[in-house]
């Protein structure tokens, strides 16, 4: 296969760019490096598109490999024909290749294989030809006590079993039946016990066209079937499919043709349709999984890229009833200053004592922000916190943050290494505080699947989900960059070209030799070779370096070009530190981008990136987003009334809507129909995790804990 041509057509890019991306990937370059520092070679594609191209390339190569394997297997049987060769060449999916190989695939014992052992294959071929001979008289020739063929009828049945299996294995028939099922069938569900209450009651008697079945409904149906609440099937009129098979195979109007028809019907009901039904349901599930994984990835990206609350001492509260509420104070760099356990839900006396402890810690460490975990006892802890800060002169605000994965992290080896002197319950409070200070730096320590911003994540193919989410984490970390002298091993290990072993070596070198004084010093780190340095250097910042370019995302390979640019535009390197480069972009435009790029030996996209970095050294893309919504008071669910207008934070975006934190313990649902005045296909067209939105209350059900919201204007 011509991969360059195929990828060029599929992704609407120049064939030259497709060739370059393939070469760059094959040379071991990371996707963040390719996206950021090789823009001229691919036309400034973003990292997500390059990742999709990489995944598609892997699929196409796997497809070619399987075609070669199947070709060798069929040739080994001596059954290869020009038609099979052409069919394999034209196959564009692995499923098509497997359908072509199906007739030649070794099978377990079947009715057809038993008939073949009895020597009935020639009779099956004769019947299939549909000539004018008389079936019973032809079948009598195959009666054999030795082979176990007891009579003519027995011989005909065996021959028809062979025909049925051949019909079921016919690649063209399978292709046509699958297509008609995709277009015309419905997926139907019934309750195994209609009287049994469950979350799947909406599917107790449900039908939906296969071609328009929504992914989240497919996943719900699959789970309901697995848990024993639903019986699921695909329905299509049998005559519709049989008529296609008859048109392809019936070529006469005689007794043999009647037998072939009967064999076709047996093939369809016993073999073909059950197999196609499994495949179509598998396709639906795979498509739903992929859609869900993409949504999870989008949500995760937005969560990780939430703006940090910089330069503030934070207090983290990990709520709890029996074991109390764990408290941790961390300084603006995330260093633990103090910890405690308070009991605000253990009666009035303990609550007053807890309030004194909390106020004392806020005053002592000049706490400005409080992060409250959203787990058990979160509501009570939020009310307690709001009452405490209302009594204080100090300006303190709080935010309820997701504590998903905090317990997993606190019990991890990484947390033990970071905080060896702290009990694991207190580590959770530290993690919650740091999540408000710098979501990205803290959340990279947790397996992405545990962060909980998707739907049905536990039903997903875990390997595929893990790969997709790891790609998102990698993209986010490299988009922001990492401080070489303060980044944790977990953060460093997500930098392009740096694996877990190298990240530990970087930290070990830092601890042994003190802070890095330049990017070039990275080359002294054990196991960090030239290729790893090339991949990671641009994403690591060294604020302590004397070279101001080490503070930026300009790659060391472009330092000379950056210095030439400054010189040609009438500036010097010291102007980077002074912040005197506000006019650099205008000056470059005046001199002409193409001319400048040629003079300094770089491409225009790289030149524009260099100018952007020199103008805003150490720029954090997260700073351009709206800050998180901090609160000072609390609402009770009972306070909510229809029509009430509130501000909230989008916590999760799913196929049928979005969940919004409006300052009560329970997130409210904005159904997809209530998001926009315009018709939208998916909530992600309008909303992202972390968005601050204005909503109005539609309905509140205190008993079930459900809040319905709308974003539509009155």
- Run means of pLDDT, 10 residues per run, the chain, 714 residues: 95 97 97 97 95 96 97 95 95 95 91 94 95 92 92 95 96 96 96 93 95 93 95 96 96 94 97 97 94 89 89 93 93 94 92 94 95 86 90 89 86 89 92 93 88 75 88 93 92 95 95 95 96 96 93 95 95 89 92 95 95 87 76 76 87 90 85 91 89 90 87 83
The pLDDT value recorded for residue 647 is: 86
- Structural domain 314-471, CATH architecture: 2-Layer Sandwich (3.30)
φ/ψ of residue 185, rounded to 5? -80, 165
What's residue 634's pLDDT?
67
Question: Fold for domain 637-710?
Answer: OB fold (Dihydrolipoamide Acetyltransferase, E2P) (2.40.50)
Contact 399, 631 (CB under 8 A): yes
Domain 3-103 has CATH 3.30.470.20: no
Rg of the chain, C-alpha, whole Å: 33
Question: Can you give the pTM of this predicted structure?
Answer: 0.84
Write down the CATH number for the domain with range 512-624: 1.10.150.310
Output the pLDDT for position 672.
Answer: 93
Give residue 377's pLDDT: 85
Q: Return the exposure string of 111-134: e unless at least 16 CB atoms fall within 10 Å of the residue's CB, then b.
A: bbeebbebebbebbebbbebeeee
Give CA separation, 291 vs 36, 216, 283, 670, 684, in Å.
27, 9, 12, 20, 12
**CATH topology (fold) of 107-185+236-298:** Tex N-terminal region-like (1.10.3500)
Return the domain boundaries, the chain.
Answer: 3-103, 107-185+236-298, 314-471, 512-624, 637-710
Element (H, E) at 510: helix 500-513
**In this structure, are strands 692-701 and 325-330 parallel, antiparallel, or unpaired?**
unpaired
What angle separates helix 3-11 from helix 47-76, to the nearest 10 degrees? 130
């Amino acid at each position: 296969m011509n991969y360059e041509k195929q990828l060029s057509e599929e992704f609407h890019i120049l064939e030259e760019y497709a060739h370059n991306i393939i070469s760059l990937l094959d040379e071991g370059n990371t996707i963040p490096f390719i996206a950021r520092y090789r823009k001229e070679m691919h036309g400034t594609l973003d990292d997500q598109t390059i990742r999709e191209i990489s995944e598609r390339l892997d699929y196409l190569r796997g497809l070619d490999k399987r075609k070669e394997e199947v070709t060798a297997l069929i040739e080994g049987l001596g059954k290869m024909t020009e038609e099979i060769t052409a069919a394999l060449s034209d196959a564009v999916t692995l499923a098509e290749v497997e359908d072509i190989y199906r007739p030649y695939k070794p099978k377990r014992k079947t009715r057809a294989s038993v008939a073949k052992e009895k020597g009935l294959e020639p009779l099956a071929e004769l019947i299939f030809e549909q000539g004018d001979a008389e079936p019973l008289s032809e079948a009598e020739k195959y009666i054999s006590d030795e082979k176990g063929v007891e009579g003519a009828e027995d011989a005909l049945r065996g021959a028809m079993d062979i025909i049925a299996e051949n019909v079921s294995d016919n690649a063209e028939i399978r292709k046509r039946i699958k297509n008609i099922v995709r277009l015309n069938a419905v997926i139907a569900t019934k309750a195994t016990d209609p009287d049994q209450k469950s979350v799947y009651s909406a599917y107790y008697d449900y039908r939906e066209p296969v071609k328009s079945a929504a992914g989240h409904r497919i996943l719900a149906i699959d789970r309901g079937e697995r848990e024993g609440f639903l019986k699921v099937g695909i329905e299509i009129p049998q005559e519709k499919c049989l008529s296609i098979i008859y048109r392809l195979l019936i070529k006469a109007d005689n007794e043999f043709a009647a037998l072939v028809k009967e064999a076709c019907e047996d093939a369809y009901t016993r073999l073909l349709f059950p197999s196609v039904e499994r495949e179509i349901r598998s396709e639906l599930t795979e498509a739903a999984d992929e859609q869900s994984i993409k949504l999870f990835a989008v949500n995760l990206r937005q969560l990780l890229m939430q703006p940090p609350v910089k330069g503030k001492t934070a207090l983290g509260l990990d709520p709890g009833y029996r074991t109390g509420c764990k408290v941790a104070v961390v300084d603006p760099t995330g260093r633990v200053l103090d910890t405690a356990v308070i009991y605000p839900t253990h009666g009035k006396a303990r609550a007053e004592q807890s309030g004194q402890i909390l106020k004392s810690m806020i005053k002592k460490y000049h706490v400005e922000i409080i992060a409250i975990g959203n787990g058990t006892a979160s509501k009570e802890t939020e009310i307690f916190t709001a009452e405490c800060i209302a009594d204080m002169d100090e300006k303190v605000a709080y935010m309820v943050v997701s504590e998903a994965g905090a317990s997993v992290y606190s019990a991890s080896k990484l947390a033990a290494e970071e905080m060896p002197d702290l009990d694991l319950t207190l580590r959770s409070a530290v993690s919650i505080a740091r999540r408000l200070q710098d979501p990205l730096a803290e959340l990279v320590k947790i397996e992405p699947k545990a962060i909980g911003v998707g739907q049905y994540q536990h039903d997903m193919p875990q390997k595929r989900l893990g790969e997709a989410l790891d790609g998102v984490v990698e993209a986010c970390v490299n988009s922001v960059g990492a401080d070489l002298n303060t980044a944790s091993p977990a953060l460093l290990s997500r930098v392009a070209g740096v694996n877990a072993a190298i990240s530990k070596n970087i930290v070990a070198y830092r601890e042994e030799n003190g802070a890095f004084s330049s990017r070039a010093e990275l080359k002294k780190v054990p196991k960090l070779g030239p290729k790893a340095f090339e991949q990671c250097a641009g994403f690591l910042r060294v604020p302590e370096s004397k070279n101001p370019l080490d503070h930026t995302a300009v790659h060391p390979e472009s330092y000379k070009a950056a210095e030439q640019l400054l010189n040609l535009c009438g500036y010097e390197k010291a102007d980077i530190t002074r912040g005197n480069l506000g006019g650099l972009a205008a000056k470059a435009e005046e001199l002409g981008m193409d001319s400048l790029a040629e003079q300094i030996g770089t491409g225009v996209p790289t030149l524009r990136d260099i100018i952007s970095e020199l103008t805003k050294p150490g720029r954090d893309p997260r700073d351009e987003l709206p800050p998180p919504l901090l609160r000072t008071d609390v609402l009770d669910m009972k306070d909510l009334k229809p029509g009430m207008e509130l501000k909230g934070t989008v916590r999760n975006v799913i196929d049928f809507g979005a969940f919004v934190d409006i300052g009560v313990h329970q997130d409210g649902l904005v159904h997809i129909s209530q998001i926009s005045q315009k018709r939208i296909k998916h909530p992600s067209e309008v909303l992202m995790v972390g968005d601050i939105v204005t909503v109005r209350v539609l309905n509140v059900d205190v008993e079930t804990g459900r809040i319905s919201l709308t974003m539509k204007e009155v």
